[in-house]
Amino acid sequence: MQSKTLRNFLYLLPCLWYSGLVLAQSPQSGASSDGAEEEIVEYSSSFYSRYSPNTAYDMILQTPGFQLDDGGDQRGLGASAGNVLINDRRPSAKQDLPSVILTRIPASLVDKIELIRGQVRDIDLQGQSVVANIILKEDSEAAISWDVTWRYNLDFKSTYEGGISISDNWNGIDYNAGLEMRYFTRGDITLQDTFDGDDVLEEKRIEEYFLNGIRGAANLNLSTAMGENLVKFNTTISWQDQDALRQKQEIDQPPSGAFRREFIGGDEKLRSIEVGTDIERYLLPDLQATLIGLFIRSREDNFGSLRRALNIGPTTFLRQADEDLKSTEGIVRLEFDWTGISSHTIQANLEGAINVLDGGLFQTEDTGAGDEVVSVPGANSRVKETRGDFLLKDTWTLGSIELDYGMGAEVSTISQSGDAVLERSFTFLKPQAVLSHNSGQGQQTRLSVFRDVAQLDFGDFISGNVFEDDDVALGNPNLKPDTTWVTQVSHERRFGPESILKITVFHHWISDAIDLLPLSETFEATGNIGDGRRWGATIETTIPLEWLGLTGARLDIFGRWQDSSVTDPVTGEKRVLSDRTPPARVMPLMFSTENKYAFSIDYRQDFQEQKVSWGWDIRERGKHPRFRANELDILNEDIEINSFIETTRWFGLKLRFDAENILDLTSTRDRIRYTGARDLTSVRFREEQIRKRSFRLAFSVSGSF
């Protein structure tokens, strides 16, 4: 069913695209391409007036041919900065994501948005093929933006959220301060059937999952000129408290007459602070230097319990675990940009970082004789990484051709103490090259080749509980970063300011691929399983629909297909890479998973005179499997459909009504447990879980003044 849906989508796309070409090439207000620099496409603030934006985030979402990348999980500060600039500069922040920063900038302060697709004004694209540059107005008056949202889940309770921010200048200091709060409730209902090794139904169960919590964040961003220096300061304080309860119960009468019940509870407290600053100045007329410092500290306290009982008797099993995780990250980065040679921009970046994670776990079990302390190997550990990174590169412009090439190097030492004691050092060379050709008429072709070093998750070094599956996620002190040679070719064609088609073909050669590594026939840990490959293609397009008589309407379409190959460490056979992304319980569906395909279709129509807009979106992604030592786990989801209507007709406010997950998306989890090694021994049992996340309604009010 899903593959048929994807085929129909791919067949329809060229028809829609070609039908819209004639109208798409007509000029439209507010958007332009710099004739001297094909690398820049400008969208003035007037272009976005039809969307009635309140914040810069509202504007960036409606920018044709741009997919927002929040970064955040890449190795190094430069690579994790995302693809958004503000006045030519990236924010000196890592946890304060670009999307969140943009929600605190009122739309009234934005002069224009530039899409930069090549080397201009000494801007370092940090390996991105395109970045969005938010240009703010000068000498603007104070502006305040705010929003409140109420969301109602038909099967659960309500969620409330809101935020407010102010932007102004005080004594020559530009500042932006914001506060946001969210009280959330969500959950799902799951039906689970368990079959024995002969596929005979053994048990039918129902599971209800509830999650309640509150989270908030406070932010302050400052920028000012101090002599010849431009100084910026950013800080974010965030917190989150939540508790979860999962109840499982048999729904068929067992022969004994006693129903088995299971309760999984969890409480989590998270506190985090991030402080960043950077100083920028010209050392020479053609030599600019930037010094960046960043410090992050967070603490996470988790308490979890697993209790089993019969409805006619006392508790038969109780496991409790108290986990404490403390992490710190310090980064110092120095950037130089030199334009002393005609047609060249030479950049040198140096970065040093220290990351530390302290993990502690205290666990007990009670089978009826009282609590007994249980030792989980590798759970009480300290992991520390010291890393140095250097990059020297040149951007050489030859008319319509641009060559961006350079060499990077990284040295790091990872040490672990506590339950595991080990120290290892690594050295990586990271060459890169990007060849771009702007052939005029909005066309650009790019060939990229570079070596990428993956960011490690320090949580993979430390063991922890997986209460949902009554399992343990073992840590692996021998884990090392995988490296990938990335080759991709992309071609972008703009048929006017709103109609874009971009196709990218890619191939990845992976060394020391990170996947689930078997430690025995029944246990595995995140580890390096050998060399692998990944290849595929993406397509992005925006199609105006005026030619269909739909005034002010457009489609934004994204599609990705990919495949992969790696040698299975259990069976020795070739298979696809495991998806290590935790199953998402929130929507919309995210596409950063290891699966066969993903696509989204977004429709929007604006009636400017009536000040009303409406639209819908459809999303789907393919199955994402996990290959464990003695288990095959496959998650598959249905199509997600959402819709909205919004208006700005009254009091200068934006009123928006959303219908989310209209078809009550079903996700199916097929979990096969073997008696020994996966696929090499007989099936012990199979679980089939059908999970519903429920239909939701949301109403939001936002404004600025």
The model's pLDDT over 28-80, given as tens digits with 9 standing for 90+, comes to 445 555 433 567 888 999 999 888 888 889 999 899 888 888 765 566 676 66
The four Cα atoms 615, 618, 619, 620 give a dihedral, to 10 degrees, of: 180
Give the whole-angstrom CA distance, residue 333 versus residue 347: 13
Q: Which amino acid is at 283?
A: L
For position 52, what pLDDT does the model report?
87
pLDDT value at 24 more than 70 = no
pLDDT value at 210 more than 70 = yes
pLDDT value at 2 more than 60 = no
Q: Which residue has the higher pLDDT, 382 or 91?
A: 382
Beta-ladder partners of 488: 448, 506
Q: Which of 114-118, 466-470, 474-478 has the highest mean predicted lDDT (pLDDT)? A: 474-478
Give the whole-angstrom CA distance, residue 567 versus residue 610: 59
For position 253, what pLDDT does the model report?
59
Strands 464-466 and 344-366 come out as: unpaired
CA atoms within 13 A on the CB side of 700: 21
Res. 297 pLDDT band, cuts 50 70 90: very high
With vertex at residue 375, the alpha carbon angle to CA 373 and CA 379, rounded to the nearest 5 degrees, is 130
Give the whole-angstrom CA distance, residue 299 versus residue 217: 15
Query: Helix, strand or coil for residue 249?
Result: strand
The model's pLDDT over 679-698, given as tens digits with 9 standing for 90+, comes to 999 999 999 999 888 899 99
Give the whole-angstrom CA distance, residue 124 versus residue 339: 12
The mean pLDDT of the chain is 87
The token pair at 531 is 């060399």
Q: Are 430 and 453 in contact (CB under 8 A)?
A: yes
Res. 587 pLDDT band, cuts 50 70 90: low
The model's pLDDT over 542-575, given as tens digits with 9 standing for 90+, comes to 999 988 889 999 999 999 999 999 999 999 999 9
Spatial CB neighbours of 558, under 8 Å, sequence gap ≥ 6? 67, 538, 539, 540, 591, 598, 599, 600
The model's pLDDT over 238-249, given as tens digits with 9 standing for 90+, comes to 999 999 998 888
Range in 331-335, 452-456, 485-489 with the lowest mean pLDDT: 452-456
How many C-beta atoms surround the C-beta of residue 369 within 10 A? Answer: 6
Q: Which residue has the higher pLDDT, 4 or 117?
A: 117
| % the chain with pLDDT above 90 | 52
pLDDT value at 16 more than 80 = no
The CATH number of domain 2-704, selected from 2.40.170.20, 2.60.40.2470, 3.40.50.150, 3.30.1300.10: 2.40.170.20
Query: Helix, strand or coil for residue 34?
Result: coil
Q: What is the mean pLDDT of residues 375-388?
A: 91
What letters, b where the CB count within 10 A reaches 16 and e where it falls short, cover 132-160?
bbbbbeeebeebebbbebebebeebeebe
Name the residue with tokens 């402080």: 275
Q: What is the mean pLDDT of residues 11-17?
A: 53
Query: Helix, strand or coil for residue 283?
Result: strand
With left for phi above 0 and alpha for psi between -120 and 50, is residue 623 left, alpha or beta?
A: beta
For position 693, what pLDDT does the model report?
80
For position 6, what pLDDT does the model report?
46
For position 279, what pLDDT does the model report?
93
How many C-beta atoms surround the C-beta of residue 640 within 10 A? Answer: 21
CA atoms within 13 A on the CB side of 416: 22
Strands 84-86 and 131-136 come out as: parallel
Give the whole-angstrom CA distance, residue 162 versus residue 280: 34
pTM, entire model = 0.88
pLDDT value at 236 more than 80 = yes
Query: Of 47, 171, 64, 173, nearest to 110 (Cα)?
Result: 47
Q: What is the mean pLDDT of residues 10-22?
A: 51
Q: Are 615 and 604 in contact (CB under 8 A)?
A: yes
pLDDT value at 471 more than 80 = no
| % the chain with pLDDT above 70 | 90
Q: Which amino acid is at 335?
A: E
Cis peptide preceding 588, ω within 30 of 0 = yes
Q: Which amino acid is at 239?
A: W
Q: Are 486 and 504 in contact (CB under 8 A)?
A: no
pLDDT value at 392 more than 90 = yes
For position 122, what pLDDT does the model report?
67
For position 29, what pLDDT does the model report?
47
- DSSP result, 392-450: EEEEEEETTEEEEEEEEEEEEEEEEEESS-EEEEEEEEEEEEEEEEEEETTEEEEEEEE
Q: Are 540 and 67 in contact (CB under 8 A)?
A: yes
pLDDT value at 174 more than 60 = yes
Give the whole-angstrom CA distance, residue 700 versus residue 689: 34
For position 36, what pLDDT does the model report?
39
Res. 21 pLDDT band, cuts 50 70 90: very low
For position 658, what pLDDT does the model report?
96
Q: What is the mean pLDDT of residues 130-157?
A: 87
* In the chain, domain spans: 2-704
Q: What is the mean pLDDT of residues 406-427?
A: 93
For position 1, what pLDDT does the model report?
45
Q: What is the mean pLDDT of residues 252-260?
A: 64
pLDDT value at 674 more than 90 = yes
The model's pLDDT over 398-414, given as tens digits with 9 standing for 90+, comes to 888 999 999 999 999 99
Spatial CB neighbours of 666, under 8 Å, sequence gap ≥ 6? 637, 638, 690, 691, 692
Beta-ladder partners of 75: none
How many C-beta atoms surround the C-beta of residue 52 within 10 A? Answer: 20
Q: Which residue has the higher pLDDT, 400 or 383?
A: 383
